[in-house]
């Protein structure tokens, strides 16, 4: 099972000091947080995608490529990549490039997002959000698996003889998680393709998302990918940890109460009791997380958000340290001991390469010197009058 952290990339005022960090400070902090997560043995660091204040992560691939160059083992992911307002061709190209730069240590989570103005900013209609998500992923799926794609849909220009470059590393596409908290069609889509399903297990009552997870499991089995118990499930969460529960509550309270997302509507104790938020000692966070396995069944990925609500970098780094040294080692042992024997681990690039090739060498697409299609060598001028081609002007 994989354990890690994710960031929504908010830039929030510290309610204790009144200081609001700059974009530059938060971007640098994200890199430091990811590096510390790698050092303490966490499995995953994920970053969200936003295009509006007060967030900074408008280009997840750029940030994750920088982090990949400074880390050794950690898997880099997104939380989420906007499948609705990004061109699937650009997603295919940018994340394949990240896959190469990270030597396979990456995957991505796709979702619709929840910021209404983003749609018109990128020329899309929010009322078509679901249709965009379904169609765009259909194209993305093909772009990573077919060397030459002919495609026509409703939301972008048609493609004829198109090859997305670079091709996926080892000709194995990045693993995809579909993130959704309210839409059964997205759970169905994840199940149909045999992809992962991620329920961002925050901001809702305990086990609120269990019906969607159970739907995904049933449909995963329906499409022949395995048993319901073998479906690939990820869960989000929130945590604040201190050596004892009293200190955790005392230290986290001003950040919770000072947050416009939480403090104006909820009491901390009520939110701790009624939602997946974990605030307490390492043992209390372990016990709360174990209830997720009891309620949702065996799952493959657990991510916590730890850098929100204006928490200063030093506090966040302490959270990462406690997760990596005090919480996750115990959770690994406990969850593994309770896991059914036929439940798979979270897919990685290495495991997917083994699944596809066994002991054989992976396929390595190579560019064609004639500068046609980079895999088949088909000329871009194959249907053009030869005399016209001969008379094309030379440039440069």
Q: Determine how β-strand 81-82 pairs with β-strand 75-78.
A: unpaired
pLDDT, tens digit, for every residue of 255-269?
999 988 887 788 999
Q: What pLDDT, on the 0 to 100 scale, is given for residue 368?
A: 64
Given a cut of 80, whether residue 372 has pLDDT beyond it is no
The topology under which CATH files domain 2-368 is TIM Barrel (3.20.20)
Given a cut of 50, whether residue 133 has pLDDT beyond it is yes
Q: Are 293 and 338 in contact (CB under 8 A)?
A: yes
Residue 118 — φ and ψ, nearest 5°? -60, -35
Q: Determine how β-strand 149-151 pairs with β-strand 159-162.
A: antiparallel
Quote the mean pLDDT of the chain.
92
Q: What pLDDT, on the 0 to 100 scale, is given for residue 115?
A: 77
Report the greatest alpha carbon distance in the chain: 82
The mean pLDDT of 13-25, rounded to a whole number, is 96
DSSP 84: T
Given a cut of 80, whether residue 373 has pLDDT beyond it is no
The mean pLDDT of 3-25, rounded to a whole number, is 96
Task: Enumerate the β-bridge partners of residue 75.
Answer: 44
Q: What pLDDT, on the 0 to 100 scale, is given for residue 384?
A: 47
Nearest to 282 by CA among 321, 336, 235: 321
pTM recorded for the entire structure: 0.91
Q: What pLDDT, on the 0 to 100 scale, is given for residue 80?
A: 92
Q: Which residues contact 355 (CB under 8 A, 6 or more apart)?
A: none
pLDDT, tens digit, for every residue of 153-171?
999 999 999 999 999 999 9
Given a cut of 60, whether residue 374 has pLDDT beyond it is no
Given a cut of 80, whether residue 371 has pLDDT beyond it is no
Q: What pLDDT, on the 0 to 100 scale, is given for residue 395?
A: 44
Given a cut of 50, whether residue 381 has pLDDT beyond it is no
The mean pLDDT of 351-378, rounded to a whole number, is 78
* Nearest-angstrom CA–CA distance, 49 and 92: 16
- Tell me the pLDDT band of 367, cut-offs 50, 70 and 90: low
Task: Enumerate the β-bridge partners of residue 176.
Answer: 108
pLDDT, tens digit, for every residue of 185-227?
999 999 999 999 999 878 889 999 999 999 999 999 999 999 9
* Nearest-angstrom CA–CA distance, 216 and 230: 11
- Tell me the pLDDT band of 388, cut-offs 50, 70 and 90: very low
């Amino acid at each position: 099972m994989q354990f890690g952290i994710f960031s929504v990339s908010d830039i929030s005022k510290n309610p204790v000091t009144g200081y609001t960090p700059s974009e530059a400070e938060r971007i640098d902090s994200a890199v430091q947080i990811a590096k510390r997560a790698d050092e303490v043995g966490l499995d995953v660091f994920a970053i969200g995608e936003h295009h509006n204040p007060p967030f900074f992560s408008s280009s997840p691939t750029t940030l994750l490529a920088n982090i990949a160059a400074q880390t050794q083992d950690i898997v880099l992911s997104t939380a989420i990549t906007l499948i609705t307002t990004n061109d699937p061709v650009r997603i295919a190209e940018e994340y394949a490039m990240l896959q190469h730069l990270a030597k396979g240590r990456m995957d991505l989570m796709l979702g619709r997002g929840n910021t209404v103005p983003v749609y018109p900013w990128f020329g899309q209609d929010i009322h078509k959000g679901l249709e965009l998500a379904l169609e765009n992923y259909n194209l993305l799926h093909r772009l990573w698996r077919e060397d030459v794609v002919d495609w026509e849909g409703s939301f972008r220009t048609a493609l004829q003889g198109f090859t997305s470059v670079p091709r996926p590393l080892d000709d194995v596409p990045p693993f995809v998680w579909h993130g959704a908290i309210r839409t059964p069609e997205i759970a169905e889509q994840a199940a149909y393709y045999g992809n992962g399903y991620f329920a961002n297990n925050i901001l809702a009552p305990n086990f609120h998302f269990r019906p969607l997870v159970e739907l995904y499991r049933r449909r995963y089995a329906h499409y022949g990918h395995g048993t319901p118990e073998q479906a690939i499930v990820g869960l989000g969460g929130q945590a604040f940890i201190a050596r004892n529960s009293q200190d955790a509550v005392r230290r986290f309270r001003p950040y919770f109460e000072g947050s416009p997302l939480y403090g104006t509507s909820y009491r901390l104790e009520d939110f701790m009791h009624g939602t997946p938020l974990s605030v307490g000692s390492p043992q209390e966070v372990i016990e709360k997380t174990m209830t997720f396995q009891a309620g949702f069944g065996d799952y493959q990925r657990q991510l916590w958000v730890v850098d929100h609500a204006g928490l200063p970098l030093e506090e966040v780094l302490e959270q990462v340290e406690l997760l990596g040294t005090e919480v996750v080692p115990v959770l690994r042992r406990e969850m593994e001991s309770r896991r059914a024997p036929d439940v798979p681990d979270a897919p990685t690039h290495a495991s997917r390469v083994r699944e596809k090739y066994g002991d054989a060498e992976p396929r390595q697409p190579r560019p064609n010197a004639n500068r046609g299609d980079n895999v088949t060598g088909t000329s871009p001028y194959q249907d053009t009058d030869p005399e016209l081609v001969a008379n094309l002007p030379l440039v440069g």
